[in-house]
A and B are shown apart, each in its own frame.
Chain A
Amino acid sequence: MLDYTPKEYIQRSALTINPAKTCQPVGAMYAALGIHKCLPHSHGSQGCCAYHRKFLTRNFRDPVMASTSSFTEGAAVFGGGSNLKTAIKNVFSIYNPDIIAIHTTCLSETIGDDIPTYIMSSQIPEGKLVIHANTPSYQGSHVTGFSNMVRSMVKYLSVNSKTPNGKVNVIPGFVNPGDMREIKRLMKAMGAAFTMFPDTSNVLDAPMTGKFDMYPKGGTKVQDIIDAGNSLATLALGSFASSDGAFELDKKCKVPARVLKTPIGINATDEFLMAVSKLTGMAVPEDLEEERGQLVDIMVDCHYHYHGKKVAIFGDPDLCIALTDFAISLGMTPKYVLTGTPGESFENEIRDMFNAAGIDGKVKALGDLFTLHQWMKEEPVDLLMGGTHGKYIARAEDVPFVRIGFPILDRSVHSYLPIVGYKGAMRIIEMMSNALLDRQDRDAADEDLELIM
């Protein structure tokens, strides 16, 4: 790419160049880390587990624990049953988690391993739990893997015991621990009783204490996931990552589900808080009204920095959908929106936004960054937003670049600070306008360099 991308658009049917997604298991591993005292377990070759742990470690800069079935040729031929049983026994005896969350890999899926049967014939110590999710790498993407693991939490754990708890369930979606913290803060500020799962805050953004905790303080307690079956309703934030879990909860425990956008930007945050308010009967408190007011103030103060700017957005579908909506609300033109995750609904939803805003833009699901780069060569944009891999394009095209989404491998602190909620929206605006204004400064001739912008 640096710079191998030709301008003229070439149709490809077999080759993926520079992917905008990765495989299911890593998403499942991330979701499972959001359960308190859970050890994710990768049922496949040891390499998969090593890659997934490395990938998450690079993004979060925190230890990522997971065990593996360590497939060998024998397992690939005769099935991984005995590996899994040994693994379950070993994991409980040495690492002592409360719960093991197994996910499969392309290999164990292809050879047709029957995980529930294996689990049933395993020795599981009293009071301990084992759950599993099928996460074939050749379907969907890492976001699908996250969603599948969340659904499995519900399938295995949640129970409607006819004792309503008056709580709201929140499924936050594939967002950073910093975002999960912020969502919890908003819920608390709303005075709502709630259960959020999964919750990786205090797991992957845990403080430094001089001790290594195999199981840090954070994560949703198993008890709470069980009790989620008694809640008032479930708010699924982000249709791709969260709706399956919420629908499963509806099906299994009759907890009504409502699917919302990831609360990124002003509209999506409004919708989220209104939904909470409606469910709980609590009014949006003064504090949050104040935050919203500040956000609007900021949007007014610097609207001329970004108004009319063309932006290309890539990343996970839920992020792209919310970010596109936010960009439009700021008067920007999201010219290109691309995700690596497959899904027609993604293209439809973005296209609807384009139509409503009168934008002549391009959208693609199951796309790759080579395509995005080609689009940008055909007609350039003013700003690129997405994960670290966008840096090659940003450099080749000399376009300002805002890192947002997953993964971010070359910058730090992103996982601690939110992009959701009103505060998160302020942060996004700051990142975007700084990138645009830094560029303006860089390019300005001496006589045009302005002190006040």
Chain B
Amino acid sequence: MAKGQVTDILEERKEFIQCKSNAGGLGLKCEKDSVAGSVSQRACVYCGARVVLNPITDAYHIVHGPIGCASYTWDIRGSLTSGPEVYRNSFSTDLREQDVIFGGEKKLAGAIGEIAERYSPKVIFVYSTCIVGVIGDDVEAVCKEAERKYGMRVIPVKSSGFAGNKSMGYKAACRALLNLMETNSTTWPRQSEKLTGVNFLGDFNLAGEIWIISNYLKRIGIDIVAKITGDSRCEEIMKAPEASLNIVQCAGSMTYLAKEMEDIYKIPYIKVSFFGIEDTRLSLMNIAHATGNKDAVEKAKELVFVEELKVKAKLEHYRKRLEGKRAAIYVGGGFKAISLIKQFAELGMTTVMVGTQTGRPEEYEVIRGMAVDGTVILDDSNPAELEKFIREKGADILVGGVKERPLAYKLGIAFCDHNHERKHPLCGFEGALNFAKEVDLTINSPVWKLRRHHL
């Protein structure tokens, strides 16, 4: 299908949509801001920064701005903790009119003080939201002053919503993490004596996923120095520069950090994905090889063999029930979309539509390479487009986030949340099984049969 065939689409949106064909064609337009007036599903800089940092369990996260931004992000991340619960509270300055007129610096300093005096925390993150820059607050100065006064880390996160999209927020978060890593910069061994352990970047411990992965790594004899950021503590992130390898999972949010750490601390990185059997197997082997430890490689082989065997037979059961069904994907990053296409293929399903909010050109290229002919590929979509292609392509299930769920349900098709609201861990071998279970549960639910217009 040529681009011109995409009808009923906002003129300015056409370059953001493609249909895979053998003819090749120009690259998909992406990484642009949403068109004004679209019902975009996209989030902002603050959102990106917040989702990356929020899982740090023992940090105090102060949202500096009017109350909304704090309310909407209060404990919605779904990241689990094995210890501290501080991060599940909502701290904010709730800026009022007076503060907007006279500046919010005093209130921010006060808020930091009220936390510092009562809880003596190790680290406070201060997020600046939309209006903070506009009203002229010097957040950095307030943070510095507070560090001096209370002898703890107070790290500003520059996350004004309008200053780009969610990816910019990821970057802001990564910079805050680097800032945190610098805390003990005078005392680390720098490159000389690296620890043998690795850092795991880009798992946020949704439904306990980091626990599955760290268990695998432990079994093949690899220690994790810092989990970034699922179920992490400030202390371990400060130690991250001592690790010998960075393993990057959610590439969308963490590649920037990995590159910076390679630059500054000379830590090499590899990209992995633990979604789906195939990716999990490859990733474990790659990690083992990357550590250069023969023992680890042997153990990894064994683990993969044992675990695959455990789930394969069970997966077969679901494969039978799902074979031939069609999937539509609309997720945050390109990397996840790629994993999902593979996973659906493992289940004998075909992906007929793939979209992301913040996918990058390289990722769209990979998607184009994997997709079967006729697959619709879209960037930063809206509900009208999603509906159109879901119907046209006859999808049986949509994978997406919060806003897509009711859309799918209204269309009478199944839905799987692959975002903050996932209820079961979806990574690793057991995760692949959970994913199959969830897909089966929703696609083969009897409720779809009740749908009819007349009695």
Residues of A near any B CB (own CB < 8 A): 1-2, 4, 6, 10, 12-19, 21-26, 39, 41, 44-55, 57-58, 61-73, 75-76, 83-84, 86-91, 93-95, 105-107, 110-111, 136-139, 141, 206, 208-214, 340, 370, 389, 392
User: Chain B: interface residue count, which band?
Assistant: 35 or more
The segment out of B94-102, B173-181, B336-344, B429-437 that lies at the interface is: B94-102
Render B190-206 as a binary contact track against A, CB cut-off 8 A, 1 for contact.
00000000000000000
- B67 lies within 8 A of A4 (CB): no
Cα–Cα distance between A376 and B351 once the two chains are bound (Å): 52
Q: A50-B403, A138-B131 are in contact. List 9 more A-B contacts (CB 8 A).
A: A2-B88, A19-B67, A26-B68, A47-B44, A62-B410, A72-B162, A105-B130, A136-B100, A208-B409
Cα–Cα distance between A57 and B160 once the two chains are bound (Å): 24
Residues of chain A within 8 A (CB-CB) of B94 are: 16, 19
Render B31-72 as a binary contact track against A, CB cut-off 8 A, 1 for contact.
001111111111111110000000000000010011111111
Known contacts A4-B85, A57-B406, A90-B12; A15 and B42 CB within 8 A of each other: no
B247-293 contacts to A (CB < 8 Å): none
Render B402-426 as a binary contact track against A, CB cut-off 8 A, 1 for contact.
1101110111100000000000000
Residues of chain B within 8 A (CB-CB) of A136 are: 66, 97, 100
Partner of B451, one of A51, A89, A208: A208
- B85 lies within 8 A of A19 (CB): no
B90-143 contacts to A (CB < 8 Å): 90-97, 99-100, 106-111, 113-115, 118-119, 129-131, 134-135
Known contacts A4-B85, A15-B93, A110-B134; A51 and B118 CB within 8 A of each other: no
Partner of B161, one of A12, A25, A62, A107: A107
CB distance from B119 to the nearest CB of A (A): 8
Partner of B39, one of A1, A66, A76, A211: A66
Residues of chain B within 8 A (CB-CB) of A212 are: 383, 387, 407, 410-411
Residue B165 interfacial (CB < 8 Å): yes
Q: Which residue of A lies closest to B410 (CB)?
A: A212
- B41 lies within 8 A of A95 (CB): no
- A68 lies within 8 A of B40 (CB): yes
- A389 lies within 8 A of B74 (CB): yes
Cα–Cα distance between A63 and B382 once the two chains are bound (Å): 12
B1-48 contacts to A (CB < 8 Å): 9-10, 12, 33-47
- B131 lies within 8 A of A14 (CB): no
Cα–Cα distance between A212 and B388 once the two chains are bound (Å): 10
Cα–Cα distance between A21 and B67 once the two chains are bound (Å): 8
- B384 lies within 8 A of A14 (CB): no
Cα–Cα distance between A121 and B162 once the two chains are bound (Å): 24
Known contacts A4-B86, A15-B91; A55 and B72 CB within 8 A of each other: yes
Residues of chain A within 8 A (CB-CB) of B320 are: none
Cα–Cα distance between A97 and B73 once the two chains are bound (Å): 30
- A71 lies within 8 A of B162 (CB): yes
Q: Which residue of B lies closest to A55 (CB)?
A: B72
CB distance from B445 to the nearest CB of A (A): 13
- B406 lies within 8 A of A73 (CB): no
Q: Which residue of A lies closest to B133 (CB)?
A: A76
- Of the listed residues A4, A58, A67, A137, the one surrounded by the most CB atoms of chain B closer than 10 A to its CB is A137
Residues of chain B within 8 A (CB-CB) of A67 are: 37-40
- A2 lies within 8 A of B85 (CB): yes
Q: Which residue of B lies closest to A105 (CB)?
A: B130
Known contacts A45-B161, A70-B33; A50 and B90 CB within 8 A of each other: no
Cα–Cα distance between A132 and B92 once the two chains are bound (Å): 29
CB distance from A91 to the nearest CB of B (A): 5
CB distance from A251 to the nearest CB of B (A): 24
Render B385-407 as a binary contact track against A, CB cut-off 8 A, 1 for contact.
00100000000000000110111
CB distance from A213 to the nearest CB of B (A): 8
Cα–Cα distance between A6 and B387 once the two chains are bound (Å): 50
Cα–Cα distance between A406 and B453 once the two chains are bound (Å): 32
- B383 lies within 8 A of A137 (CB): no
Known contacts A15-B93, A107-B130; A208 and B410 CB within 8 A of each other: yes
CB distance from B166 to the nearest CB of A (A): 8
Residues of chain B within 8 A (CB-CB) of A370 are: 89
Q: Which residue of A lies closest to B134 (CB)?
A: A110
- A65 lies within 8 A of B86 (CB): no
- B67 lies within 8 A of A16 (CB): yes
Cα–Cα distance between A53 and B40 once the two chains are bound (Å): 10
Q: Which residue of B lies closest to A136 (CB)?
A: B97
Residues of chain B within 8 A (CB-CB) of A23 are: 66-69, 71
Render B153-171 as a binary contact track against A, CB cut-off 8 A, 1 for contact.
0000000111111000000
Partner of A93, one of B10, B34, B41: B10
CB distance from A433 to the nearest CB of B (A): 30
Residues of chain B within 8 A (CB-CB) of A86 are: 35-37
- A14 lies within 8 A of B68 (CB): no
Known contacts A69-B36, A95-B384, A208-B409; A50 and B134 CB within 8 A of each other: no
Residues of chain A within 8 A (CB-CB) of B34 are: 46, 68, 70
Cα–Cα distance between A39 and B383 once the two chains are bound (Å): 13
- A4 lies within 8 A of B91 (CB): no
Q: Which residue of A lies closest to B451 (CB)?
A: A210
CB distance from A295 to the nearest CB of B (A): 33
- A47 lies within 8 A of B47 (CB): yes
CB distance from A442 to the nearest CB of B (A): 24
Cα–Cα distance between A48 and B66 once the two chains are bound (Å): 12
CB distance from B217 to the nearest CB of A (A): 29
- A73 lies within 8 A of B163 (CB): yes
Known contacts A95-B384, A212-B407; A47 and B10 CB within 8 A of each other: no
- Of the listed residues A10, A41, A67, A206, the one surrounded by the most CB atoms of chain B closer than 10 A to its CB is A67
Cα–Cα distance between A287 and B39 once the two chains are bound (Å): 45
Residues of chain B within 8 A (CB-CB) of A19 are: 67, 70-71, 74, 90, 92, 94
Cα–Cα distance between A54 and B387 once the two chains are bound (Å): 18
Residues of chain A within 8 A (CB-CB) of B93 are: 14-16
CB distance from A3 to the nearest CB of B (A): 8
- Of the listed residues A16, A52, A139, A213, the one surrounded by the most CB atoms of chain B closer than 10 A to its CB is A16
CB distance from A41 to the nearest CB of B (A): 8
Cα–Cα distance between A138 and B129 once the two chains are bound (Å): 12
Residues of chain A within 8 A (CB-CB) of B72 are: 22, 51-52, 54-55
- B92 lies within 8 A of A44 (CB): no
Cα–Cα distance between A308 and B20 once the two chains are bound (Å): 69
Cα–Cα distance between A209 and B451 once the two chains are bound (Å): 7
Residues of chain B within 8 A (CB-CB) of A22 are: 67-68, 71-72
- B68 lies within 8 A of A106 (CB): yes
Partner of A65, one of B110, B383, B409: B383
Known contacts A16-B92, A16-B93; A57 and B403 CB within 8 A of each other: yes
- A53 lies within 8 A of B403 (CB): yes
Cα–Cα distance between A107 and B453 once the two chains are bound (Å): 45
